[in-house]
Amino acid sequence: MSGAKVKRTEGRRNARIKTMQALYQIDVAGGDTGAIISQFLETQDMSRVDTEYFTTLFRGVCGEMDALDEALGAHLDRPLDDLDAVERAVLRLAAWEFKTQLDVPYKVVINESVELTKKFGAEKGHRFVNGVVDKLARDFRAMELNALGQK
């Protein structure tokens, strides 16, 4: 992590913000994954960002975009391409974290997704994202939910 005094949760939260922004950029303008990572590391203030987590998240989502989009499509009431680019980025990020970052509790993934959408998305987009991410949790974290008595 860049900043030695940054707490793990803050560094990861900031990594999610930067990842969402990088996903937005690649979605809207295209580009090479490695070049975008380099651009962020060189031109953005990454001092309070867990840069290793940022890189892991961004490469992970980009590497599994088709599979993530398919998983998301099962829970959408419209085509993925019709979503706001911020919502699309947040949902892809959440799906990937659910799928691969099993050390991150499902409630953290849901909360971070809602907070990202509140901060960067459309006025009531967080409600939509919350509903979709809640359904994704059941797909990817059924065992975790069952162990906690959630359905």
The 10s digit of each residue's pLDDT in 75-103 is 999 999 999 999 999 999 999 999 999 99
pLDDT tops 60 at residue 151: no
135 or 5, higher pLDDT:
135
pLDDT tops 70 at residue 17: yes
Q: Which of 2-6, 29-33, 36-40, 57-61 has the lowest mean pLDDT?
A: 2-6
What percentage of the chain exceeds 70 in pLDDT?
A: 94
pTM of the model: 0.91
Instruction: Give the per-residue pLDDT at 3.
Output: 43
Instruction: Give the per-residue pLDDT at 146.
Output: 72
Angle, CA of 60, 99 and 14, to the nearest 5°? 55
Distance (Å, whole) CA 68 – CA 126: 19
Instruction: Tell me which DSSP letter residue 80 carries.
Output: G
Are the C-beta atoms of 26 and 1 separated by less than 8 Å? Answer: no
Distance (Å, whole) CA 147 – CA 74: 24
State the average pLDDT over residues 30-41.
95
Q: Name the one residue in this structure whose structure tokens are 């599979």.
A: 67
Spell out the domain ranges in the chain.
Answer: 8-146
**Dihedral sign, Cα of residue 100, residue 14, residue 54, residue 40:** positive
Average pLDDT, the chain: 92
The maximal CA–CA distance of the chain, rounded, in angstroms, is 45
pLDDT tops 70 at residue 64: yes
Are the C-beta atoms of 96 and 60 separated by less than 8 Å? Answer: yes
CATH architecture of the domain with range 8-146: Orthogonal Bundle (1.10)
